[in-house]
Amino acid sequence: MSLKRFDQLVCELRHTLAGLSDKRKGSNTQYSMEAIGLSAFAVFFTQSSSFLSHQKTMEKNNGQSNAQTLFQIKKTPSDNHIRDMLDPVEPEAIYPMYDRVYEALDEQGILDTFRSVHNTSLIALDGTWYFSSQSENVKCKNCSKIEHTNGEVTHYHSAITPVIVGPGKPYAIPLRPEFIVPQDGDTKQDCEIKAGKRWLDNNGAFYNTGNDTILGDDLYAHQPFCRRTLLNNYHFIFTCKPKSHKWLYKWVELLEPGMDIHTVKVRVKNKSKWEYHTYRYANNVPLLEGDGALKVNWCETTITTKRKQIYHNAFITDFKITDKNVAGIVAAGRARWKIENENNNTLKTKGYHLKHNFGHGKNHLSSLLATLNILAFLLHSFLTFCDDAYRLIRATLPTRKTFFQDIRALMRYHCFPSWTVMMDFMMRGLEIGPYEAK
């Protein structure tokens, strides 16, 4: 099936959820695992914690609900039953849906529009917290913990949340997450790096189109992770700070200007103002002191206006740097920030409430619900690319918040026979169109 429409996405998701492991051994299977998974997903997709209760009321009063017509949920289970049944399910069970959406974006040429330096796709890695609590009653075996000097203990969950980004692109495309677990190490940095390596080893081959680039902050710009990136057939562009790379910067300071270290200056018009971009770069610089040091290529950029400096940063990469490509390498490296702005920040502050405790459980519930939440964001992004009505309505309404407020209100008070009918209703109400549904 070629995914282009909302109902096709739901059909594909139903197929994935139908395969979830079922801990029940008796005959009490009133609700299928498919219905249980879809019910949880619908809450995240509509960004409404009350969606299921509203739909139960609608079904009771009218004999039918949007849970049935839009999400194909035949019978809606209770919140507690959903949590109980999903707790044993590992988040990897949802990954086939991530893969199917990724493949559909590739089939429709969307991923090609994200290609950047040397025609590579840019995959940004970063770790983020999605749950924390100081209550001894809200924790599970997969919680990490921090023991504070005052004796208090914070239990938390975190994950690597990879995304495809592109310079100038307003959206990021989420990929399979990698959850950070307690045995990864005693410190946040150890945990994040080990999870990043695991993501590369487990997922690198699937996402690599043969010539792609990993982006990361200064935490990743160290020899073991750089080597692991190369071993998985990726290029890399990582932020490189002087404080954590003292030997590299000592080496750079000794290079002869014009011979070993090169400078490129460009004047760029940004909107109505002129900016002055200065790039310095050097190739074959040792990443650390001693024999066996990996040789990397280093560049820094400084952006000023006539009055002040507005940006400064530096990167290491395995790409050979030249006068012609240094600006492109820096632009790709700077795109890493989109994992914060367009992904993690959106998931935490733009209606997805990633840090909210939707249900913690004793096993995998917290990470599974986070996986469904990120999947909802991925499907919203997919519809932005592939659903004309969705894109036009989002562009017409002032904010993402307004769009989902309208969606929640419509679904609460009216039962729509299909997603297309609801989109058409909104299009006509906003006097957009006509459009041809695909």
**Tell me: the pLDDT tens digits for 105-136?**
999 999 999 999 999 999 999 988 888 888 87
Identify the pLDDT of residue 306.
Answer: 87
Residue 393 in tokens: 């309505």
For the segment 202-244, what is each residue's pLDDT rounded down to a tens digit? Answer: 999 999 987 899 999 999 999 999 999 999 999 999 999 999 9
Give the integer Cα–Cα distance in Å for 97 and 379: 10
At 309, which amino acid appears? Q
* Residue 34 contacts residue 89 (beta carbons within 8 Å): no
Give the integer Cα–Cα distance in Å for 214 and 147: 33
Give the integer Cα–Cα distance in Å for 22 and 178: 23
pLDDT confidence band for 68 (50 / 70 / 90): very high
Convert the chain into a string of H (helix), E (strand) and C (coil). CCCCCHHHHHHHHHHHHCCCCCCCCCCCCCCCHHHHHHHHHHHHHHCCCCHHHHHHHHHHHHCCCHHHHCCCCCCCCCHHHHHHHHCCCCHHHHHHHHHHHHHHHHHCCCHHHHCCHHHCCEEECCEEEEEEECCCCCCCCCCEEEECCCCCEEEEEEEECCEEECCCCCCCEECCCEEECHHHCCCHHHHHHHHHHHHHHHHHHHHCCCCCEEEECHHHCCHHHHHHHHHCCCEEEEECCHHHCHHHHHHHHHCCECCCEEEEEEEEEECCEEEEEEEEEEEEEECCCCCCCCEEEEEEEEEECCCCEEEEEEEEECCCCCCCCHHHHHHHHHHHHHHHHHHHHHHHHCCCCCCCCCCCCCCCHHHHHHHHHHHHHHHHHHHHHHCHHHHHHHHHCCCHHHHHHHHHHHHHHCCCCCHHHHHHHHHHHCCCCCCCCC
Is a pLDDT exceeding 80 seen at residue 345? no
User: Please, which residues bridge with residue 299 across strands?
Assistant: 281, 315
Identify the pLDDT of residue 91.
Answer: 95
Residue 177 in tokens: 């997450």
Is a pLDDT exceeding 80 seen at residue 434? no
Among 169-173, 291-295, 311-315, where is mean pLDDT lowest?
169-173
pLDDT confidence band for 287 (50 / 70 / 90): very high
- In the chain, the domains with their CATH numbers are 6-92+355-429 (no CATH), 120-346 (3.90.350.10)
Residue 117 in tokens: 């330096």
Identify the pLDDT of residue 154.
Answer: 87
* Residue 27 contacts residue 21 (beta carbons within 8 Å): no
Is a pLDDT exceeding 50 seen at residue 309? yes
Identify the pLDDT of residue 384.
Answer: 93
Give the residue-averaged pLDDT of 58-63: 92
Backbone phi, psi, residue 367, to 5°: -70, -35
Give the integer Cα–Cα distance in Å for 50 and 61: 17
Give the integer Cα–Cα distance in Å for 171 and 341: 9
pLDDT confidence band for 153 (50 / 70 / 90): confident
Helices 365-386/6-17 angle, 10° precision: 160
Give the integer Cα–Cα distance in Å for 304 and 292: 38
Identify the pLDDT of residue 437.
Answer: 47
Is a pLDDT exceeding 70 seen at residue 438? no
Give the integer Cα–Cα distance in Å for 313 and 277: 12
User: Please, which residues bridge with residue 8 across strands?
Assistant: none
Name the percent of the chain lying above pLDDT 70. 96
- CB-based burial label for 424 (10 Å; 0-12, 13-18, 19+): middle
* Residue 94 contacts residue 125 (beta carbons within 8 Å): no
Is a pLDDT exceeding 80 seen at residue 1? no
Residue 330 in tokens: 């820096």
At 285, which amino acid appears? V
Give the integer Cα–Cα distance in Å for 99 and 129: 23
Give the residue-averaged pLDDT of 322-332: 96
Residue 419 in tokens: 């997603």
- CB-based burial label for 393 (10 Å; 0-12, 13-18, 19+): buried
